[in-house]
Structure 1
Amino acid sequence: MLPPHDVYAVNAGGAAAGGFTADDYFTQGDVFSNVSQPVYTTDVYLAGPPEIYSDARQGGQFGYSFTGLTPGINYAVVLHFAELYFSMPRQRRFNVSLNGTVHTNIDIVSLAGGPFKATTLLYFVRADTNGIINVDFSRGANDQPMVNGIEVRVIE
């Protein structure tokens, strides 16, 4: 069953667009934008609005903290990606930690099948005892992490 609705939907590195709020809830990182080439979003599972894929938050290490959630409850966390700079697999590989569970060497070009193609990763994450989900990005095998959007969804 698909998660029915967002608690948070953030356009990482950009302005409000298509139901996603402007970039917020972050610590550290820089904004990157590439509007010279459109991003392909057709047939992407849980794709966000096309506008969120033309900008990103990136940096050696950065994170997002989503608060006010129900402690101990699982939420769906959807990470939205489109490679806006590199063109080949393995040029950017980074790690994502979701409340301490680390997923290593994420490669956007490999996941999406090329640059300027959107892709998503879906994780189920339990809010901690304070009702918080932290999404932290760090360097992996190559270059720095980046993300285009993040959703935290209620699961029913």
Structure 2
Amino acid sequence: APAPAPVVEKPKPAPVAKAAPACLLNGPAAEAVGCVKAYKTLADGYLEAYKAVDRWLAGLSSEMKNAADRIADMEAKVSESEGAVTKLKLDRSKEAKLKLKELEVANKKLWVELEAARKDEETRCKGFAREAATKVKEINVDLTARLAAAAAKAAE
């Protein structure tokens, strides 16, 4: 029987790039006519709300990135320190035992700092959730007022 043909792997296609986010408004805003014109202020309100929330989220994201970076840095230090503690525990020399005591004290301090950083991040996230709920309520109040004003103007 003839030898089987070698399997040739086809090159994998390049990953598809994620599509860029679509513009909030594709092209110029539609021209409102007649009684619909009164409701243009409502559309403007939604657009303003979107932009305000987007700016707010960008600021919070920057803040949260700093907190996450700090935690990652501290986790790396704890991991390195824990590895050093284990090595010293395996070493039976007097110098290792002395150094181990110093390192264990420093290690406990690192753990306390790490837990404090994690707690701070958790507190910030809870605060963010409360702020988001308040922001949405404020936006709804504004949009409801715009809707009422538009309805009154359209009825004129």
Please give the TM-score of this superposition, normalised by the length of structure 1: 0.17
Q: Which has the higher strand share?
A: 1
Larger gyration radius, structure 1 or structure 2: 2
Kindly indicate whether structure 1 or structure 2 has the higher relative contact order, using CA contacts under 8 Å at least 6 residues apart: 2
